[in-house]
Amino acid sequence: MSDLEQFRQMKDDFFKNHFQSPLNAEQKKNFAGLNYFPENDALRFTLILERYPNPEPLQMQTSKGELRDYFRVGQIRFPVNGVETTLQVYESQDHPDEYFIPFVDATAPHETYGAGRYLEPERVGPDKMLVDFNLAYNPYCVFDPQKWSCPIPPVENRLSVRIEAGEKNFGADDSALP
């Protein structure tokens, strides 16, 4: 079993059994696991963060209409099926030094959540990060939009390419909820 398969199995167990799961009791009863794209090594990168000299503050709207404060700290560039692609990288004003990449790609809304998915890349050196789209995940508002408030990816992180990695729509096939 690969590290990614083990991670996914642990995440599914958390969703099914943990008291802090985003699923409600009714959802947990029928939960058989999240839906994922197959592991895609072509969408795992070690990238340079092209850091902005003066990070720009911005507010991201959430699914409940609230505003959350972030800094746009830089951008990353990477190829997807031969297309040079760019995403903005943010840090929360509440959690500096933790990178956050919300994005929407061309798999939305039919295969992935229409409002976007999230990535939290790992720092692997000064201005270097591991960006693994196999770890792209749905925000908790997918599971209970009344309970959770999730940042909506800014227009600058809406991609025309397909990112065929990470979580798919919740309940999209018979391996999850009907």
**Structural domain containing residue 20:** 3-157
Helix, strand, coil share of the chain (percent; to 5): 20, 35, 45
Q: Report if residue 35 sits inside a domain.
A: yes
The per-residue pLDDT for 50 is 97
Q: Report if residue 162 sits inside a domain.
A: no
Q: Report if residue 70 sits inside a domain.
A: yes
Q: Report if residue 169 sits inside a domain.
A: no
The per-residue pLDDT for 176 is 34
Read off the pTM: 0.91
Q: Report if residue 171 sits inside a domain.
A: no
Q: Report if residue 163 sits inside a domain.
A: no
Q: Is the distance from CB of 24 to CB of 142 less than 8 angstroms?
A: no
The per-residue pLDDT for 1 is 80
The per-residue pLDDT for 84 is 97
Task: Give the total number of structural domains in the chain.
Answer: 1
Which residues does the chain have with pLDDT short of 70? 172-178
Q: Report if residue 122 sits inside a domain.
A: yes
The per-residue pLDDT for 152 is 96
Q: Report if residue 174 sits inside a domain.
A: no
